[in-house]
Structure 1
Amino acid sequence: MGIEREIKLALPPEQAAAADRFFTAAAGAPGRDVPLANLYFDTPSLALAGAKIALRLRKTPDGWLQTLKAAGTAEGGMHSRHEWETAVAGESLEFDTLAAACDDASALAALRAAAPELGERFRTTFVRRLWRFEFDGARIEAAIDRGEVTAPAEGETRRDAISEIELELLDGDERALHALTAKLSAAVPGLTPENVNKAQRGYRLCAR
């Protein structure tokens, strides 16, 4: 089990270039673009959401990954939650592999109960521009995500734009993450903490 620790910031689209310049200077190199497609699964009654669990299948340039994320916390843009991730052969979930990786009994029970009724409920499609660098002795991955969340509902496709920054602590003291956020916010006007993650935005589209 891993604990994901990251800060999410809503990025005004007109400030994307300024954020790009900031991270390129911090890393000493341009960012790397990674196209990502994410399919989120739940039951028709949204049982996983009720259990505060997100189940995702992600297509990356290197292959497919499945991820289970359990309940976490979000305050001031700082997100912390348990997650389990494994590689899969293609565009389908592999429950046995995920169950073997998950060491949380309640999350695993909720997943197994929902399994017979699972189907895709929404997806996120975006380009992630990535940088990795050291800051105040910590290793940090910075990302600018731009794209959209889409959900089929009532005969239409509902959409919500994605424009955000994610700062993930890979190794080191969490205080470095907050110090970097303060420096970034001083350089890029208009950034605000984002306490709603992409999965939650997808669920809101489903329920609207």
Structure 2
Amino acid sequence: MGIEREIKLALPPEQADAADRFFSGIAGTPGRDVPLVNIYFDTPALALAGQKVALRLRKTPDGWLQTLKAAGSVQGGLHSRHEWETSVPGEALDFVALEHACDDAAALAALRAAASELGERFRTAFVRRLWQFEFDGARIEAAIDRGEVTAQVSGQTRREAISEIELELLRGEEPALHALTVRLSAAVAGLTPEDINKAQRGYRLCAQ
């Protein structure tokens, strides 16, 4: 089991270049662009969401990954969630691999109860610009995500733009994330804590 700890910040689109310069300056290198497509699964009644569980397939340049995320916490843009991730050979879920990876009884119970009714509910597609660097004794991955969330509901496509920054703690102590956020906010105008993650945006589109 891993615990993902990251700060999410809403990024005004017109400030994307300023954020890019900030991270490139700290890392000493330009960011690396990674196109990502995520397919989120749930039952028609959104049973997983009701249990605060998220299940997705992610297409990366290196192949497919499946991720199960369980209930976590969020405060001031800092998101903490348990997650389990495994590789899969293609665009299909592997429940056996998920059950072997996941060590949380409640998350497994929710997955098993929903398995027979799972289907795609929404997608996110965005380009992630990535940097990794040391900051205040911690290893941090910074990302600028720009793209959109889409959901097919009653034959119509619903959309919401994505423009945000994620600061993930890879190694070290959490205060380094907050210190970096303070420095970033002083350099890039208009940043605000983002307490709604991409999956929650997709569910919001489904429910509108």
Structure 2: unaligned runs, 5 residues or longer: none
After superposition, what is the alpha-carbon deviation per residue over 1:114-134, rounded to whole angstroms, capped at 9, x for unaligned?
Answer: 000000000000000000000
TM-score by length of 1: 1.00
Give, as a single letter, the amino acid of the residue that structure 2 aligns with 1:190.
G
Q: Which residue of 1 aligns with 2:26?
A: 26
Structure 1: unaligned runs, 5 residues or longer: none
TM-score by length of 2: 1.00
Q: Which residue of 2 aligns with 1:84?
A: 84
Q: Secondary structure at the match of 1:87?
A: strand
Give, as a single letter, the amino acid of the residue that structure 2 aligns with 1:153.
V
Is 1:199 the counterpart of 2:199? The answer is yes
1:174-185 to structure 2, matched below 5 A, reads 174-185=174-185
Q: Secondary structure at the match of 1:196?
A: coil
Q: Which residue of 2 aligns with 1:188?
A: 188
* Whole-angstrom distance in 2 between the partners of 1:43 and 1:49: 9
* Whole-angstrom distance in 2 between the partners of 1:23 and 1:47: 39
Give, as a single letter, the amino acid of the residue that structure 1 aligns with 2:151.
A
* Whole-angstrom distance in 1 between the partners of 2:94 and 2:173: 35
Q: Secondary structure at the match of 1:181?
A: helix
1:1-208 to structure 2, matched below 5 A, reads 1-208=1-208
Give, as a single letter, the amino acid of the residue that structure 1 aligns with 2:67.
T
Shift of residue 155, structure 1, vs aligned partner: 1.7
* Whole-angstrom distance in 1 between the partners of 2:154 and 2:106: 32
Give, as a single letter, the amino acid of the residue that structure 1 aligns with 2:44.
P
* Whole-angstrom distance in 2 between the partners of 1:75 and 1:94: 32
Q: Percent identity?
A: 81
After superposition, what is the alpha-carbon deviation per residue over 1:63-96, rounded to whole angstroms, capped at 9, x for unaligned?
Answer: 0000000001111000001000000010000000
* Whole-angstrom distance in 1 between the partners of 2:16 and 2:187: 12
* Whole-angstrom distance in 2 between the partners of 1:123 and 1:54: 13
After superposition, what is the alpha-carbon deviation per residue over 1:100-148, rounded to whole angstroms, capped at 9, x for unaligned?
Answer: 0000001001000100000000000000000000000000000000000
* Whole-angstrom distance in 2 between the partners of 1:199 and 1:131: 23
* Whole-angstrom distance in 2 between the partners of 1:73 and 1:104: 16
Q: Secondary structure at the match of 2:71?
A: strand
Q: Secondary structure at the match of 1:206?
A: helix
Q: Secondary structure at the match of 1:6?
A: strand
Shift of residue 154, structure 1, vs aligned partner: 1.8
Q: Secondary structure at the match of 1:103?
A: coil
Shift of residue 156, structure 1, vs aligned partner: 0.6
* Whole-angstrom distance in 2 between the partners of 1:125 and 1:77: 22
